[in-house]
Each structure stands twice: as C-alpha cells, then as structure tokens.
Amino acid sequence: MRKDISEYMKQLQKDGLKPNYSEVARMFNCDYRTVKGYYEHPEKDSVRVKKPSKLDPYKQIIDDKLALKCSYYSIYKFIEKQGYPGKYSILADYCHKRKEEERKKATIRFETNPGLQAQVDWKEEMTLHNRIGIPVTFNIFLILLGYSRKKYIELTLDRAQDTLMSAMIRAFIYFGGVPKEILFDNMRTVVDQSKTEYSKPVINERFYQFSKDVGFEVWACRPYRPQTKGKVEALAKTMERLRPYDYEFDDVDELDEIIRDLLEDLNNEVSNATNQIPNVMAEKEKEYLHFLPTKETTDTYLTIPPKRKVSKESMVVYNKRKYSLPTNYIGKIVQIKEEKPYLYIMFNGSVVAKHQLSTKPFNYQKDHMIEILKSDAMKRRTNDEIEEVARKNLEIYDSLGG
C-alpha cells in the first residue's frame, strides 16, 4: 500500500479539492491510475500488487541513466555489473516504455489547483557588467505559483539559508498568502538527504521549522528530475531577458530596480502556458492561499540585513550612495544595517565601518581614503603627500551633493 499517496488523497478530499491525477503521479513517481484509485476508493487498504520483476531493484538507476541520455545497452552493462540477473530484452522494453511515457508527458500540460503549489529555484551566478565595465555577479531567487503563474523574483548576492527564508517571506507578502506546498530541488539549504526511489528526503531541521512557522509543506524533487518543477525552470530561462542590460547600469541598487521592473512586466504579460495574465489569475488564486503568518513570525525571518559586495574601490552602494571601508574587505560580501542616523557595515557579525547616513554620492572616511591611495595610485608617495591628496579629495567629495 502506498500510504503516502493514500494520505495525500484523503487530505485533498478533506479540503474539497480534486487532484490532477497525472501531476500527482509525477510527484509520487507512480502510474496515474494508482492515484485515481486511491482518490476514488479511499476505503481500500491496498491496491493490486504487481508481480515483482527482476528489474525492480534497478529501476531507479535506470531512470537516472536515461535522464543522462545513456544508451540502453550501456545501462544494461552497467547494472549487470551490479548484479542484475535478467536479460537485455527486459531492460530494453522497460526503457522504451519509459521514453514513451516521457514523450507523452511532454505533450500534456499539467495544471495545479489554485493555492495548492508553488515552485522555488535559483538563477545562479549570473554576471552582468556595469557602465564602466566592472563585472557584477549575482543570483536571482525565483518562486512561482502553479495555478496563476504569478512570479516573485529577487536579486541576492548569495544562496544562504537565511537569504532563502527572508526572500520567501517577501514573496508571500507579495502574493498575499502562502500556498499549501512548495516544491524545491535538492538544494542544501532545504534538504539534508536527497529523495530516492525507496526513501523520503530528509529536510533540514531549521528549514522544516521555518515551514511550520510560516505554514507550508516541503516537497523535494528526486535527483535528475528537473521536469518535476518545469514551471520555475522555465522562469529561470526567462531571466536571460536581463542580458540587454549588460553595461547599462551603475550599481547593484540600479540592477535591483531593473529586476523589480522585470517582475512587474512578467506578471502583467500573457503567460504562454495559460494564455492568461498572471496578475489577473492571481486574484482568484489568492482566495485559496493560506493566511500570511503573524507579523512577529515574519519579522523573525526579515531581520537579516541586506548584503553587498565590496567593490575594487573599497566601497559599497546603499540607496544609491557609496560608502567606504578598509581595503582588506575588497571583493568580500558584507552586511548593511541602517540605524538612523548611522549606517553600519558588518562582516561576519562585526562592525568594520560606521558612516553617518548621507545624501552625498561618495562617502569616504579619511583613514579609508588614505589606505586606498596607498594601496594603488600613490603607493610610491610619502605619507604627507598622500594625506594632502586625501584631504583635497575629501573636500571635493563633500562639495558633491550634501
């Protein structure tokens, strides 16, 4: 008996929802008729058990190798060395049927009931250049509601667990609610042990607590099954729409604005999958989303300061203003914390620079300016000469804005 399928079907019936049998079958890696049987006959304690096949213990391996486009015969020789006692013809027949199933699946659109599911992924380490040619490498957090196709995307400088959780909270606020379940790949910030044919994934304890606090169920894809979360995979490819902005922005803040504009465009354009506008569809889906968690809960996961990468000029950008820090932090990721009237720049939890919040475009501290000049442009000058240049430069910067 597939107790996991049985319990899932019972919960859907309790919620008054009818499943898409094919999509649920994909989630549980079984035949859609099995899913249908559990939904239509929940009183049954078991379903008909098929006669075991010599191939059964090796089907997970075979599926994984097929996903890697290995030939039937190479797979046969591979599992033969692992103890497979059957004939090649049995394996070839199974592989042919699996390919036919995948081909048919590719022609069917799998839809999700409103409020049921969202999918999460990252567009990892994308690099664009600012207007003066300096490369900026960043990530984009991606989440998409399965029914309406409403998206939320966010620029991040890392993919740490804290970053993931805070981005998800902002996404739920943007959506106006929380879906019942969220599908992830086997990212390390979510899964401690991947799912296989015969075992469930082991969810990271801290992330599991986060899911309970916020109110969603965690679903993890099996390895080599990117099609399971095909909706968000397609969204990741859409991020290539940012390429025309290469050499067309000044700093991370401006790039962040460009990504926010793209988000609004995507949610107001007709979806190729549904032929509907996501924002319009989302109005219906919002009725089925769970309520947002309490402000106390959201604040717990939104206390993470924003992050910035220190530029080669030993500065970080915050609200379109640049602030200096010591040169030994060039290239590192630091956190920014605003506590008016000051701006704190932190590394590994320690404050490494403190500035008065300013409207000036450039904000140097004198010791940082001297250190920067010594490290490059004036490394052969005397200390007195460097200090004089630093003093004059600071006067010029002070005259800009203010």
Evaluate if residue 110 carries a pLDDT over 60. Answer: no
Distances (CA, A) of 94 to 26, 64, 91, 284: 17, 13, 5, 42
pLDDT computed for residue 109 by the predictor: 42
Please give the DSSP secondary-structure letter assigned to residue 116: T
Q: What is the pLDDT of residues 23-32, one digit of tens each?
A: 888 777 788 8
Residue type, 352: V
Please give the DSSP secondary-structure letter assigned to residue 290: B
Q: Which two tokens stand for residue 346?
A: 């932190």
Residue type, 97: K
Which of these ranges, 34-48, 235-249, 252-266, has the smallest mean pLDDT? 34-48
**Total residue length of the chain:** 402
> Chain-wide mean pLDDT for the chain?
83
258 vs 261: CA distance, rounded Å: 5
pLDDT computed for residue 137 by the predictor: 92
User: Which residue ranges make up each domain of the chain?
Assistant: 3-106, 117-301, 307-399
Evaluate if residue 142 carries a pLDDT over 70. Answer: yes
Q: What is the pLDDT of residues 339-377, one digit of tens each?
A: 889 999 999 889 999 999 988 888 888 888 777 777 665
CB 202 within 8 A of CB 191: yes
Q: 117-301 has which CATH code?
A: 3.30.420.10
* Distant-in-sequence, close-in-space partners of 92: CB < 8 Å, separation ≥ 6: 72, 76
- Does 35 or 177 have the greater pLDDT score? 177
Phi, psi of 145 (to 5 degrees): -80, 130
Q: Which two tokens stand for residue 334?
A: 């630091």
Q: What is the pLDDT of residues 52-89, one digit of tens each?
A: 788 899 998 998 888 888 899 999 999 999 999 999 99
pLDDT computed for residue 69 by the predictor: 80
CB 365 within 8 A of CB 337: no
pLDDT computed for residue 173 by the predictor: 94
pLDDT band at 105 (very low <50, low <70, confident <90, very high): low
pLDDT band at 197 (very low <50, low <70, confident <90, very high): very low
